[in-house]
Every structure is written in structure tokens, then in C-alpha cells.
Copies of this chain bind each other. A is one copy, B any other.
Amino acid sequence: MISVQELDFNQQVEYDRLKSTTKIGAIVTFTGLVRDINEGQGVSDLALEHYPGMTEKCLQDIVQQAQQRWNIIDFTIIHRVGQLTISDQIVFVGIASQHRGDAFAACEFIMDYLKTQAPFWKKETMANGETKWVDAREHDQHALTKWQS
């Protein structure tokens, strides 16, 4: 399941949905939250813009790549857009597999590619009221190298 939505999501609901068959031996979930500090500056709010249409296609494509590499029984990707604030949930990726190795790798792979390829953009509002588009991190590009061997 892939969803781009303004609404918040619930960890238990998503976990239960992934835990749907008795073949599943491992569930890995990742949740991304709005931190209060980014690059050393106090953040108060976050606006998330995306490219409707392309976003869903891009996430589907990333999942297909993961499915070609690992044994995935079920998956969920939820990414929120719109106005968020400190400690809000931004993104959820959950993978259900027979074995833990597949679940860990697929979950991290999807997050690493989502971070560098899915068309979302964050705009932060600082504690002092200034707004600033978040810069892409070199580190996120670098994280892809571990999947390219």
C-alpha cells in the first residue's frame, strides 16, 4: 500500500495490517518525525510540498526495485504532505517478510531512495518566524552507494 496524504497515521493500525498472514516472521517499520533541530536551528513548523502523480509513480517504482532484490510479503509506504509541526510523523515504511534480513534491507533501501528520488520538498519555519527551504543533504546521496554493488 502506498499513500500520500495530509492525514496522520497510526503505528498500531499499520503494524496490524502488515501482520496479516502466518507466513510472516519479521516486520520492520521506519517512522520519520519532525525534529526540533535541523542544521543547528530551532524548527517550529514544516510544510511539505510534493508533485502529485509523479510521487506515487516514483514510490511504486522504488518498491518494485526492492521487490526484485528481496523477498517481501507485504509493504506499506505512507508519506504526509501539508502543514506539520514538531514531533509530527512524516513518513512510515513498513515491510513484512519471512526473514529479518529481507525486511531490514528492503525498508532501508526504500527510505534511502525515497529521500533522494521521490518529489517531496520541505520548507521549515524557524522559531524566529523565518522560513527556509530545506537543502538536500550530500549524506543522503552517499547513502545510496551501499545498494549499488
B-contact bits for A3-23, CB 8 A (1 contact / 0 none)? 000000011100110010011
Q: How far is the CA of A27 from the CA of B34 in the complex (A)?
A: 12
Contact B26 A32, beta carbon cutoff 8 Å: yes
- Chain A contact residue count (CB 8 A cutoff): 33
Interface centre among A27, A36, A143 (most CB of B within 10 A): A27
Q: How far is the CA of A25 from the CA of B30 in the complex (A)?
A: 10
Contact A28 B26, beta carbon cutoff 8 Å: no
The A contact surface, by secondary structure, is mixed
Out of B10, B23, B37, B87, which one reaches A35, CB within 8 Å? Answer: B23
Out of B25, B28, B101, which one reaches A29, CB within 8 Å? Answer: B28
Q: How far is the CA of A121 from the CA of B12 in the complex (A)?
A: 29
Question: How many identical subunits does the complex contain?
Answer: 2
- Rounded to whole Å, the gap between the CB of A62 and the closest CB of chain B is 15
Q: How far is the CA of A89 from the CA of B15 in the complex (A)?
A: 12
> Which residues on B sit within 8 Å (CB–CB) of A28?
28-30, 107
Out of B24, B107, B111, B143, which one reaches A33, CB within 8 Å? Answer: B24
> Which residues on B sit within 8 Å (CB–CB) of A55?
none
* Apart from the given pairs A12-B12, A19-B33, 4 other A-B contacts in the complex at a CB distance below 8 Å: A12-B15, A22-B86, A25-B35, A28-B28
Closest 4 CB pairs of A and B: A12-B12, A22-B36, A25-B35, A11-B15
